[in-house]
Structure 1
Amino acid sequence: MAVEKGQTFSGREKVDKYRPIYYAGASGDFNPIHIDPEFGKMVGLGGAILQGLCTLAFASKTVTDWVGDPGKMKKLKCRFSAPVLMEDTISIQGTVTDVQSGRARIDLKVVNQHGVEVLQKVEAEVEA
């Protein structure tokens, strides 16, 4: 696939109530804010929240699904800006903003179903 400036792509992920538990098992992040809804409510989060790196993994998957090869991902950065709750739907919109020297820069917008940016300043770099 030829990558060109201006190309766009998107993805969507529905967070079910088990996702933080699955991710905790894979990552070892068993912090109670991620796996205990009552604890999450008690500390003011509205319930258990998804691990930030799992949210970033959703964004990464959207990029690698689009580019076709996970090995082409060279860089990914973001700012974690809002919690993701169980049953949230995360929408990812990517735009190629620059292509130079065989690399493409992609800016991503990652929002929940209310339009709240859960990740900000999301940038990926892939082999073009």
Structure 2
Amino acid sequence: MAAVISYDDVEPGTELPSRSFPVTRADLVRYAGASGDFNPIHWNERFAKSVGLEDVIAHGMFTMAEAVRVVTDWAGDPAAVVEYGVRFTKPVVVPDDDKGAVIEVSAKVAAKLGEDTRRVRVDLTATSAGEKVLGMSRAVVQLS
């Protein structure tokens, strides 16, 4: 686990370490089992294409969870994230091959929300295959 970050040590513009998250069809099957979301667009290529998708897509909540790992790793404590929200802008297409897909995530401190709260807003950027997959991705983090 990373060291806990102090409010006094960050400023707006502070960049968090970027991460790449590989996603395979096997990951989607495991996530479906854990979440109970067995929608066939997440595992059945024929069905996904029949409803107009390019291929099987990752669950939106899976994508959202992978992205926030950048913040929780940086903060040093998952419970430090007190708010988190995104808009789903494009799906993460996961081909049935040896590579799958990759979600690239970067983040930076956008604002300090006040000495009294010791909270910061972190804005995230998540892309896959060169396309932005999450919009308005923001987390509020309670720092020490």
**Structure 2 length normalisation: TM-score?**
0.84
Give the length in aligned residue pairs.
127
Match of 1:66 in 2: 74
Contact 2:107 2:122 (C-alpha < 8 Å) held by counterparts = yes
**What whole-Å deviation, never above 9, does each CA across 1:26-80 have from its counterpart, x for those lacking one?**
1100001111112112222111111000000011111101111001010000100
Aligned equivalent of 2:119: 103
Amino-acid identity (%)? 36
Amino acid at match of 1:46: E
- What are structure 1's unaligned runs of at least 5 residues? none
- RMSD of Structure 2 on Structure 1 (CA): 1.1
Distance of 1:38 and 1:63 partners within structure 2: 36
Please tell me whether the aligned partners of residues 25 and 43 of structure 2 are also in contact (alpha carbons under 8 angstroms): no
Equivalents in 2 of 1:79, 1:45: separation in Å? 19
8 Å Cα contact 2:88/2:135 also seen in 1 = yes
Matches of 2:85 and 2:35, distance apart in 1: 19
Runs of 4+ in structure 1 deviating by more than 2 angstroms, as ranges, are none
TM-score, normalised relative to structure 1? 0.93
Would you say 1:89 and 2:102 are equivalent positions?
Answer: yes
Between structure 1 and structure 2, the one with the greater Rg is 2
Q: Which runs of 5+ in 2 are unaligned?
A: 95-99
